[in-house]
Structure 1
Amino acid sequence: MNLNVIRYYFREAVRSIIRNSWLSAASVGTIIISLLILGSTVLLVMNVRYVASSVESSLEITVFLKDDVDEQSLARMEEQIKFVPGVSSVEFISKEQALADLKESFGDKADILSGLEQDNPLPNSFRIKTTSAGLVPEAARQLEKLDGVEQVRYGQGVVEKLLSLTHWVRIWGSLTIVVLGVAAIFLIATTIRMSVFARRREIGIMKMLGATNLFVRMPFMLEGMMLGSAGGLVAVLIINFSYLSLLNKVIVTLPFIRLVDDPVTIYQVLGGLLGLGFAIGALGSAISLRRFLKV
């Protein structure tokens, strides 16, 4: 393929965009809207997963012990807990440490707990974490069977609902992304097909004069790539500006909510959307041209 042919392809693609400006604008607009919806959904699903993962990682089991458990039994219990399936870490919390932590949580009002130092009612306990949040309920059931255990707490009921919610969010979020991606491709294909249909006679004449499928297809493919890249670029700029503005507002107004703020992750999503716009334009053109190249 020589330089003159490449110039011809680009010249025809640009002429086609200018000649069919309304259809070109419609194609770019469709790509922008499709990628805005898709990109917003991807970021929403990412943040829901991130928040869910943060909550899951903070889940822990507290095992309260009976008062008559001696130091030798404590050491034996700690070893038994480590062998419970799914347990990743075990931390012993003495009643003195538990009281100190409670005073710290009261801050300036810790003086009201001063009377508890002589007769500390808090029990010794173990603070346990598992390798994954899904193992918390089963591990808790296993821990309840150990000798010397008074009570096991892990947020029973709430944890199960949280795990169920995050499970369905991951499933439906992934399905939504796939459906929107497919819908975007067909929307672009339909719009570009209108442009190709308006020039069906031109394509037919070129084919009858001996033009190869590649020669006919390339200007349209380049046109689709240009339109897709333009739409993708606009969508990426809008999403980038909007998401960064949202992050700044959340940090100021809701500092306890952590959203995805890793620049690498964000730019990977934006780069993927830009590449998807390019691919959608090319794929839409390819799908649209199949019918008209059969002359």
Structure 2
Amino acid sequence: MKSRTFRRHIRESLKSLSRNGWMTFASVSAVTITLILVGIFFVIMMNLNKVASTIEEDVEIRVHIDVASNGTDHQTLKNAIEQLPEVKSVRFSSKQKELDNLIKSTGDEGEAFKMFEQDNPLNDVFIVKTKNPADTIKAAKKIENMDYVSKVRYGQGKVEKLFNFIKVSRNVGMVLIVGLLFTAMFLISNTIKITIVARRKEIEIMKLVGATNAFIRWPFFLEGLWLGILGSFIPITVVATIYYNAYEYVAPRLEGNFIEILHYSPFVYQVSALLILMGSCIGVWGSVMSVRKFLKV
């Protein structure tokens, strides 16, 4: 395409926006409202995903070793666990360390446990981490049947509920976002279609005098692009402002905890770029779908 022709398409698309002021306003408003909802849902879902990933990474299997086993048996068991395809790492924790951790975790009440230091009733423990947190249950079931294992603990019952909740939350979030995007495409497509219907005769005349489909389509393609970009400005401002205030309030209160939310920068800039891309794609798709049926003369 010649640069002069492309400049002509840009001028025509911009003129169309100004000539059809109310339709432009309606289309931009549809994009704006939808992207605000999508942006807020996306920010919430990404932070929930961050928290969920942190919690998942904290899930571990505690393998209590049989008290009757010796050092050689410990090494045999460790080798067997490390050979499992799901296992990422195996760390040994002696029964003395387990007792120290118990005393420390219970505070003042833990002083009562010091009486067991001479005759420690706890087991030596292997702390196992899996490559994929979702494989924790599968690995735990395999380890239970190994020799020299007294018992295996991984938060049975709670871990299954946690993984199910995370899976459902992620799926629901994706469905909502996709649903909002398709709603926006439908609204914008119909809004732009009204504008194009008013120019149907113009399109038919251009077709009859020999204009190609591409030549006719380009101004509408660019018009949809401008509508999408314009409609993304307000959502970016709204989402950035809300997240900034939320981050300033929540982040200090989570310091010292193992849970954290996504840092304001660069997360907000990534979301902003995504909203512009979404707006552009929605606008272009709406225009292309609307003009296609009128190109058949």
Q: Secondary structure at the match of 2:90?
A: strand
Moved over 6 A (4+): none
CA shift for structure 1 position 60: 0.9
Equivalent positions of 1:118-129 (< 5 A) are 118-129=118-129
Query: 1:22: which partner in 2?
Result: 22
CA shift for structure 1 position 251: 1.1
Gaps of 5+ in 2: none
Query: 1:203: which partner in 2?
Result: 203
1:284 and 2:295 correspond: no
Distance 1:250 1:191 in 2: 40
CA shift for structure 1 position 211: 4.0
Distance 1:183 1:9 in 2: 28
Q: CA RMSD in A?
A: 2.6
Distance 1:250 1:166 in 2: 21
TM-score with structure 1 setting the length: 0.87
Q: Secondary structure at the match of 2:146?
A: coil
Q: Secondary structure at the match of 2:156?
A: coil
Equivalent positions of 1:242-281 (< 5 A) are 242-255=242-255, 256=257, 257-261=259-263, 263-281=265-283
CA shift for structure 1 position 12: 2.8
CA shift for structure 1 position 267: 3.0
Query: 1:60: which partner in 2?
Result: 60
CA shift for structure 1 position 194: 1.3
Equivalent positions of 1:78-93 (< 5 A) are 78-93=78-93
Q: 1:105 to 1:221 in 2, by over 3 A?
A: same
Gaps of 5+ in 1: none
Question: CA deviation digits over 1:181-231, x for unaligned, max 9?
Answer: 333222211111111123333334444454443443333222221111111
- Asked if the contact 2:243–2:264 (Cα under 8 Å) also holds between the matched residues in 1, the reply is no
Distance 1:106 1:161 in 2: 26
Distance 1:284 1:81 in 2: 55
Distance 1:146 1:19 in 2: 77
Query: 2:152: which partner in 1?
Result: 152
Q: Secondary structure at the match of 1:120?
A: coil
TM-score with structure 2 setting the length: 0.86
Q: Secondary structure at the match of 2:123?
A: coil
Q: 1:228 to 1:85 in 2, by over 3 A?
A: closer
Distance 1:5 1:214 in 2: 12
Query: 1:239: which partner in 2?
Result: 239
Distance 1:42 1:121 in 2: 50
Query: 2:222: which partner in 1?
Result: 222
**Paired residues, number:** 295
Q: Secondary structure at the match of 1:197?
A: helix
Q: Which amino acid aligns with 2:69?
A: V
Q: 1:224 to 1:139 in 2, by over 3 A?
A: closer
Q: Which amino acid aligns with 2:251?
A: I
Q: 1:92 to 1:213 in 2, by over 3 A?
A: closer
The alignment-based identity, stated in percent, is 38
